[in-house]
Amino acid sequence: MNAHRNISILALAAALGWTVPAHAQDAQSDVLRAEIAAMREQMAAMAQQIDTLESRLQVTDTKAEAAMIAGETAKADVAKVAAAPVTPKVAQLEKSSGWSFEPFGRLMIDAGSVNAPGAIGDSGLGFANEVRRARIGVKGDIAGGFDYKMELEFADNSVEITDAILGYDAGDVSLTIGQHNNFQGLEELTSSRFISFMERAAFTDAFGFQRRVGLSAEYSKGAVVAQGGIFTDNIDNLDASNNSWGGDARVVFAPKIGGTQLHVGGSLHYRDFNDAQGSARYRQRPQVHFTDTRFINTGNISGDSEFGYGLEVIAINGPFHATGETFWQQVNRPGGLPDPTFFGGYAEVGYFLTGGDSRSYKGGKFDRIKPKNPVGKGGFGAVQINARYDYLDLNDAGIIGGTQKSYGVSLVWTPTDYTRFMANYWRNQYQDAAIAAGTDRDYGVDTFGVRAQFDF
């Protein structure tokens, strides 16, 4: 383009030059030559301005094209983000000093029925419903590597403290002091939000597993988790006359081989009864909490201490999982009395009917199920079926508390990460039951329950 313009300028200049007569050699021709030179300079300046404008136009076009490409890329990114599943998070207040404050909570509402032989009567049986758990709490970080958690339970028309802890994170090791879970097995440590039946295994409640005040440490690295602590009693039972204490320890090895998550663990428990108590009692409901009827019950057993140990296993592969636990609890009795050892355990298998869903696992226990296609994102959520055999034997060394063999199935629908609906059916077979049906202590009881829950 510049060459064409130069030729045009030269042509115009030549044409102008030709307009001057050849014989005009006087002053007038000098004036014309000066004017022509001035015009040539003006035209050269105009050509320079045109070149500058063209350069600017080229830069502008390049920027516009880049902006269009960036715009299309941004649209694609927005579409990807919109299509991706979003995990909601509760608002968290953070401070520059290292403090944070995050509220959390859960609500579980149960209903169902317990059907026993008519000779037992209807007291505490039949249809019932309850708010199984209604909790709210706060947790967060404290400057210097510390963290805290405080949780209150509002069910049963009372207010109780469930967790009240101060922790410290030292990398692979964490320390905790306050009211928190002991380390008495897999199911007890798995949150009630993530268990596959409405209630945990029978032995966990029968053997008195609960939160206690104490000091504990946990080591977690790779496939190994080791936990241990010293505990007194539940925070609601602490007083000047209560001087019981105990220790708990648990070790887990959880390798992942191919697409299968494995878990093998064991736990130990010891508790020295206080002088005022000096006894133990083991009993259990028929796999639901909305009845206070216990069909097996040892009554009070005089004792100085108790010692327990358990084993636990898990295998998770895609939609399938299998798990089980066993636990032995021995009461050490005074005065040469025989020491009874009671036993509980369960075996469970489960399967997801919805594609892409699986039982979640983290830190030596089951974790939150996150549906691949949740409700609200074009999906139906996760649907899971489970079958379990649960056994509890409270007969030994002259103590007749009864045995409970339970066969259960559950259907669990998890429409979103934080909502869940469950239906359970159990057939409980009793021998040497603590409650007689007329003169019969060997009989069966059917229980059915449903639950609606959410947490945040």
The 8-class DSSP code of residue 273 comes to P
Instruction: Say if residues 423 and 379 touch (Cβ distance below 8 Å).
Output: no
**Cα-based angle 345, 431, 278 (whole degrees, multiple of 5):** 65
Instruction: Say if residues 172 and 221 touch (Cβ distance below 8 Å).
Output: yes
CA 4/CA 23 separation, integer angstroms: 32
CA 326/CA 271 separation, integer angstroms: 19
CA 160/CA 234 separation, integer angstroms: 10
Q: 365-397 burial by CB neighbour count: b if 16+ within 10 A, else e?
A: bbeebbbeebeeeebebbbbebebebbbbbbbe
The rounded Cα 260 to chain-centroid distance in angstroms is: 20
Task: Encode the chain (456 residues) as per-residue pLDDT tens digits.
Answer: 444 444 443 333 343 343 444 444 455 556 556 666 666 676 666 656 656 655 664 655 555 455 455 555 545 554 454 445 444 555 556 555 889 999 999 999 999 999 999 999 877 899 999 999 999 999 999 999 999 999 999 988 889 999 999 999 999 999 999 999 999 999 999 999 999 999 999 999 999 999 999 999 999 999 999 999 999 999 988 876 667 899 999 999 999 999 999 999 999 999 999 865 688 999 999 999 999 999 999 999 999 999 999 999 999 999 999 999 999 999 999 989 999 999 999 999 999 999 999 999 999 999 999 999 999 999 999 999 999 999 999 999 999 999 999 999 999 999 999 999 999 999 999 999 999 999 999 999 999 999 999 999
Give the model's pLDDT for residue 174: 97
Segment holding 454, helix H or strand E = strand 443-455
HSE of 398, CA atoms in CB hemisphere, 13 A: 7
pTM of the predicted protein model: 0.79
Instruction: Say if residues 366 and 347 touch (Cβ distance below 8 Å).
Output: no
Tokens of 84: 């991706």
Give the model's pLDDT for residue 65: 57
Task: List the helix and strand counts (H, then E) for the chain.
Answer: 4, 24
Residue 299: name the closest of 394, 391, 390, 393 by CA.
394
Q: Which string of DSSP letters, residue by residue, matches 139-202?
A: EEEETTTEEEEEEEE--TTS-EEEEEEEEEEETTEEEEEEEE-----HHHHS-TTT-SSSS--H
Segment holding 214, helix H or strand E = strand 212-221
CA 79/CA 84 separation, integer angstroms: 9
Give the model's pLDDT for residue 2: 45
Instruction: Say if residues 302 and 334 touch (Cβ distance below 8 Å).
Output: yes
Specify which residues 158 forms β-bridges with: none
Give the model's pLDDT for residue 168: 98
- The residue type of 102 is E
Mapping DSSP to helix (H, G, I), strand (E, B) and coil, where does residue 15 land?
Answer: helix
At residue 25, φ and ψ (nearest 5 deg) are: -115, 15
Tokens of 144: 């210097």
CA 319/CA 387 separation, integer angstroms: 14
Give the model's pLDDT for residue 28: 53
Instruction: Say if residues 426 and 388 touch (Cβ distance below 8 Å).
Output: no
**Cα-based angle 93, 94, 100 (whole degrees, multiple of 5):** 85
